[in-house]
Structure 1
Amino acid sequence: MSEQLADERASAAPAPGQVGGRTVMLIPHRAPDVEETMLPPDYQRILAAVRQAAGPGMARQVGEILGVDISVRAKLEPLRAKLVRLVDRGWLRKLPDGRFTTRL
């Protein structure tokens, strides 16, 4: 039984895909059987930082928690893109004012 569960979890894990000839990690949609540990480590750290923030936070606040140099826009925009990707997949929520928060 435990082997079957392990096989099912392994098959549900995000698999690398090809985009423009480059290997990329696909971010799974949030579902009851998909655990946060199935996300790539960068995305797990982002989720933890959003939870650590005192309430909904902007990408800048999440960047500060993660240690990203927020004074450089070129370093902040990739983080914002990851936050939006997590919103698109159902892991986070984006409020109308642009702040990010965890889903209930």
Structure 2
Amino acid sequence: MGGRAVMLIPHREPGADESMLPPDYQRILAAVRQAGGPVMAREVGEVVGVDVSVRAKLEPLRSKLVRIVDRGLLRKLPDGRLTTRL
């Protein structure tokens, strides 16, 4: 069967342990928390070591952020910045 593997990111539930997330996602969540306030994807990329000067390298991070937001682990503000729900 061809195609890419899909990494399942669990939805946020009470008592859910973030250690179940893949390491990349754990680093992303930690970077947003560490910021202490809402951040843009570019700022998250700088913290996790993505070359933010190259759009093609930033887009995979944006995709991961969207998945994390869709699962309820982060919140996206109307201006596009990200923040933790907790």
User: Displacement, 1:30?
Assistant: 0.5
1:80 is the counterpart of 2:62:
yes
Tell me the TM-score normalised to structure 1 length.
0.77
Tell me, which stretches of 5 or more residues in structure 2 are unaligned?
none
Which runs of structure 1 show a deviation greater than 3 angstroms over 4 or more consecutive aligned residues?
none
1:103 is the counterpart of 2:77:
no
Name the SS for the 2:6 alignment partner: strand
1:46 is the counterpart of 2:25:
no
Name the SS for the 1:31 alignment partner: coil
CA RMSD of aligned residues (A): 1.5
Larger Cα-atom Rg: 1
| Cα shift readout 1:18-39 (whole Å, capped 9, x = no counterpart) | 8x54333210001013211111
Tell me how far apart the structure 1 counterparts of residues 3 and 50 of structure 2 sit (CA, whole Å).
28
Tell me the TM-score normalised to structure 2 length.
0.92
Q: What is the aligned partner in structure 2 of residue 14 from structure 1?
A: none
Any residues of structure 2 matched to 1:1-80 within 5 Å, and which?
21-80=3-62
Tell me how far apart the structure 1 counterparts of residues 26 and 16 of structure 2 sit (CA, whole Å).
13
Aligned residues: percent identity? 80
Tell me, which stretches of 5 or more residues in structure 1 are unaligned?
1-17
Name the SS for the 1:23 alignment partner: coil
Number of aligned residue pairs: give it.
86
